[in-house]
Amino acid sequence: MSKREIAGMRVLVTGASTGIGRALAVELVRQGACCVVLARGEERLSEAVEACRTVDPEARVEVIVGDVTDVAVRKAAIEKAVTSFGGLDAVVNNAGVGSFGRFADAKPERLRHIMEVNFFAAVDLIHEALPALRQGKNPIVVNVGSILGHRGIPRMYEYCSSKFALQGFSQSLRVELQAEGIDLLMVSPGTTETPFYDNVVHGRGNVPWNKGKGTPVEKVAKKMVAGMQQGRREIVPNFLGQWLIRANRHVPHLVDWYLQRFA
Ligand SMILES: NC(=O)c1ccc[n+]([C@@H]2O[C@H](COP(=O)([O-])OP(=O)(O)OC[C@H]3O[C@@H](n4cnc5c(N)ncnc54)[C@H](OP(=O)(O)O)[C@@H]3O)[C@@H](O)[C@H]2O)c1
């Protein structure tokens, strides 16, 4: 894992129309990177580009509107970086969705949908981007997981499964990519102030532990960019998230006991 300059980097960010992805694009642009931003919401993406131009009126930002599970959309985003910026140095797999509800009442299609967006699209995008990344300057893959990729919680089994899968895949891939000089940063946020819980595909408004305020999204974005810069393996940007991971390592039965109230 190596240190890198953010200025001049050519970065593809998925799920950049709102939340963490949008804040990340703004922070990258502030520090002199060029970005291809991808998401389904055209209007929301335009607002994200506006936000980038607020911090740098000359910002080089290209837009790809589409679903990250669509291979043509992913390939168009890679192509856009190559044709507009002359190459690709970083892929940020940030697009993600959640769902809320008990396993016994769940529809299997929901698990498949969430795995497609949160896991398979990220795996496929990395595979498709590898040839461009190999030609990139100090290349890096950034996978946005979650603290729920370290510790499963009740009523979010689809989401937890997808984030554990992404974590396992990332650990395996990091070692393989090291030989090629490509870094892999895992980002495992805890609750962050974004519309994430309003966008869940099932069970909106039903999330009992989401009463408190999350970490400000700009703070998470700054930590992500610092993690890319410093060549970190993984960052857990929220204090409570770090606490949960530690508690689960040392006293998992107490964490089970605490989470029972949400089951
Ligand atoms: N907020 C939290 O507390 C938290 C905690 C841990 C981890 N995370 C992770 O952080 C990442 C970003 O989430 P967020 O909190 O910023 O939530 P968010 O504001 O809802 O952002 C999700 C982003 O993903 C995009 N997206 C969703 N489905 C997509 C699809 N099929 N194709 C393309 N883009 C898609 C959305 O854009 P469109 O709807 O316009 O397509 C949006 O830009 C996710 O991977 C999430 O799991 C969030």
Q: What is the DSSP string of 138-159?
A: S-EEEEE--GGGTS--TT-HHH
Which pLDDT score, from 0 to 100, does residue 213 have? Answer: 78
From the CA of 192, give the closest atom in ligand 1: 3
* pLDDT on residue 203: 85
Which among 204, 207, 205, 74 has a CA at the least distance from the CA of 148? 207
Give dist(CA 59, CA 52) in Å, integer: 7
Instruction: Report the chain (263 residues): mean pLDDT per 10 consecutive residues.
Output: 94 98 98 98 98 96 98 98 98 97 93 98 98 98 98 96 98 97 98 92 75 88 98 96 96 96 90
The sheet with strand 61-65 has its strands ordered as: 61-65, 34-39, 10-14, 90-93, 140-144, 183-187, 234-235
Give me the pLDDT at residue 209, please: 66
The CA 198 to ligand 1 mean position distance, Å, reads: 11
Distance CA 4, CA 226 (A): 10
Ligand 1 pocket by C-beta < 6 Å: which residues? 14-21, 39-41, 44, 67-69, 94-97, 117, 144, 146, 189, 191-192, 194-196, 199, 214
Q: Give the global pTM.
A: 0.97
pLDDT at residue number 9: 98
Chain-centroid distance, C-alpha 83: 24
**Distance from the CA of 97 to the center of ligand 1, in angstroms?**
6
Is residue 39 within 8 Å of 15, Cβ to Cβ?
Answer: yes
Q: Is 114 helix (H, G, I), strand (E, B) or coil?
A: helix
pLDDT of 138 reads 97
CATH number for region 10-262: 3.40.50.720
Known catalytic residues are: 159
- Rounded to whole angstroms, the Cα distance separating 128 from 130 reads 6
